[in-house]
Amino acid sequence: MPRRAVIRDIEEETYDTKTYTFEFADRGPKGMDFIPGQFVMLSILGYGEAAISIAQDPDDKSGLDLTIRNVGSVTGALSSMRVGDHVGIRGPYGNGWPMEEARGKNLLLISGGCGCGTLRPIILAHRNDQSRFKYVEILYGARTPGDIIYRKYYEEDWAKIPNCNILLSSDTVPPGQIWRYKVGFVLTMLGDMKSSPEDTLVFMCGPEVMMKFTVLDMLKMGFSGEQIYCSMERRMRCGVGLCGHCQLGPKYVCKDGPAFSYAELQGLPDHIIRR
């Protein structure tokens, strides 16, 4: 059953993407316990539910940040809502990123488009306490400079985090826009990064085609299929492995995922992240 939540704050990220801070409006806690990489089901009355990755700072239980792009009926309805309006939220669901395994290791966080939301909790966790991971490197790209989400954080707040390196890219730069970072797909940043396969876990989220070619290049660089995790997107209705929609062969993305290692994905049908 969804819990009633109120929009406490809205921050515009790009022309079509906003980060909403929700606060539960029932008698329970205002935020929720979750593992980075998990998602919630967001309900808008009359429109339905959509699966949204949690972008909240895991050390802050006062609310729930979700970064949401206006792309469908639920997210479209949300985009016209204002601070003080109510939604429903249930969760968290899914396995989340392998955080126990990541403890003390180097992390390479690669995302494209609005896939960066699910990695934000890790970036914020590292900002709060650098003893958690040895080193964090962030590779993030979008289609145009205008699509870059969290831009001011990447350029200011997060750029100051110790033991952290940020690389940005844009697929193209339309006339009139200024871009002082890489131009090209996300995978073009692989040559510029400091990370190596040694003692490193890779968490990746973005369009499947981006993940596919990025992973394939990384395998050539010596990364193994076991150390690369991809967060999968599927149509989801229940979030608990009952409605069937998100199946990848014997696995449910909602329950067994959304984070799957590349090695695990090789045995599963209906995705393109393979050779």
Partner 1 sequence: MIARLSEEYRVFGPVSRRSDASFQEITNGEELYLDYKTTTLPPKKFFHKTETIVQYEADKGFSAPELEVDKPCLLFGVHPCDLNAILRMDKFFSREYTDSYYTKRRQNTAIIALNCIEPGENCFCASLGTGPSIDEGFDLLLTDVGDSYLVEAGTRRGEAMAEKLELHDASKGQLEEKARRLKVASEKFVKSIKMEGLAELAAQNLTHEVWSLIGEKGGLAGCFACLSCANCSLVCPTCYCYEVIDTPDVSLKRGVRMREVDSCQLLEYSLVALGHNFRSDRKDRTRNWMMCKFGGAGGQQETSCVGCGRCIKACPAHIDLTEVAQSLWGE
State the residues that interact with partner 1 by CB under 8 A: 1-4, 25-26, 43, 45-50, 71-72, 75, 86, 88, 233-235, 237-238, 240-245, 247, 249-252, 255, 267, 269-271
Kindly state the smallest distance separating residue 2's Cβ from partner 1, in Å: 5
Q: Decide whether 88 or 146 has the Cβ nearer to partner 1.
A: 88
Kindly state the smallest distance separating residue 100's Cβ from partner 1, in Å: 21
Does 207 sit behind a cis peptide bond, omega within 30 degrees of 0 on the bond before it? Answer: no
Q: Decide whether 146 or 197 has the Cβ nearer to partner 1.
A: 146
Kindly state the smallest distance separating residue 203's Cβ from partner 1, in Å: 21
Q: Decide whether 25 or 193 has the Cβ nearer to partner 1.
A: 25
| Nearby residues of 251 by Cβ (< 8 Å), 6 or more positions away | 257, 260, 268
- The DSSP element (H or E) to which 253 belongs, if any, is none
- The DSSP element (H or E) to which 21 belongs, if any, is strand 17-24
How far is Cα 8 from Cα 22, in angstroms, rounded to an integer? 5
Region of residue 206 (left: phi > 0; alpha: psi -120 to 50; beta: else): left
Instruction: Extract the runs of DSSP E, i.e. beta strands, from 25-102.
Output: 39-44, 48-53, 64-69, 86-93
Q: Decide whether 126 or 251 has the Cβ nearer to partner 1.
A: 251
Kindly state the smallest distance separating residue 66's Cβ from partner 1, in Å: 14
Kindly state the smallest distance separating residue 245's Cβ from partner 1, in Å: 6
Q: Decide whether 197 or 241 has the Cβ nearer to partner 1.
A: 241
